A and B are shown apart, each in its own frame.
Chain A
């Protein structure tokens, strides 16, 4: 079991609210990711970070923002939530690949967000 945590697990909020989804890992991984997943659909990368003070946008356009002030912490923020933001958000981190060892990606349990 990977040591990567997400809170809250479930969140129901009203339109226009500001929210922050928390993600933390205790494995010392430099690389962290945020994915968005709708039911029956593939995961879409929305943000990633290769280390402290490094953040990049992913493939799927997202109105959310991220920060990486500490290695272990990678929060995602929505300034003004809308119903279109309703989805499952998955955080992930990867170890460092080395000779003979493939890079592995570990996922958190996810946050199910519902915006009314």
Chain B
């Protein structure tokens, strides 16, 4: 069964600290993995997209890693800011040229305290 599991479910950190969010998937065949940030009451916004051949991709203070062999990905946030408080969603696609089927995780709810 194709699934995307994220951990932790929720996380509270202090402003300025780093954190790492995890994503494990069983989607096959695998095409690409995306991390989205979703602010409360808003739609998800794309942070990174990685294909099978990519191990890491950065977007400012956000760095995503991918291990296609173990089917694991992580999103590392450096020097967290209050505006990082949001839900972070891992999404795996099983095809590339067309959007194919998207499998969504339930997200990790991150809260950054001052």
Smallest CB gap from A10: residue in B: B41
Query: A112 near B43 (CB under 8 angstroms)?
Result: no
Say yes or no: is A12 at the interface (Cβ < 8 Å to chain B). Answer: no
Query: A105 near B41 (CB under 8 angstroms)?
Result: no
Query: A40 near B43 (CB under 8 angstroms)?
Result: no
Say yes or no: is B49 at the interface (Cβ < 8 Å to chain A). Answer: yes
Query: B107 near A104 (CB under 8 angstroms)?
Result: no
- Taken together as a complex, chains A and B put the C-alpha atoms of A97 and B98 apart, in Å, by 6
Residues of B contacting A90 in the complex (Cβ-Cβ under 8 angstroms): 43-44
Residues of B contacting A4 in the complex (Cβ-Cβ under 8 angstroms): 43
Interface size class of chain A, counting residues whose CB lies under 8 Å from the partner chain: 20 to 34
- Taken together as a complex, chains A and B put the C-alpha atoms of A31 and B98 apart, in Å, by 10
* Contact of A102 (CB < 8 Å), options: B36, B45, B49, B106: B49
Say yes or no: is A7 at the interface (Cβ < 8 Å to chain B). Answer: no
Enumerate chain B interface residues (CB-CB to A < 8 A).
Answer: 4, 9, 32, 36, 41-46, 49, 51, 89, 96-99, 102, 104-107, 109
Enumerate chain A interface residues (CB-CB to B < 8 A).
Answer: 4, 6, 9, 31, 40-43, 45, 90-92, 94, 97, 102-110, 112
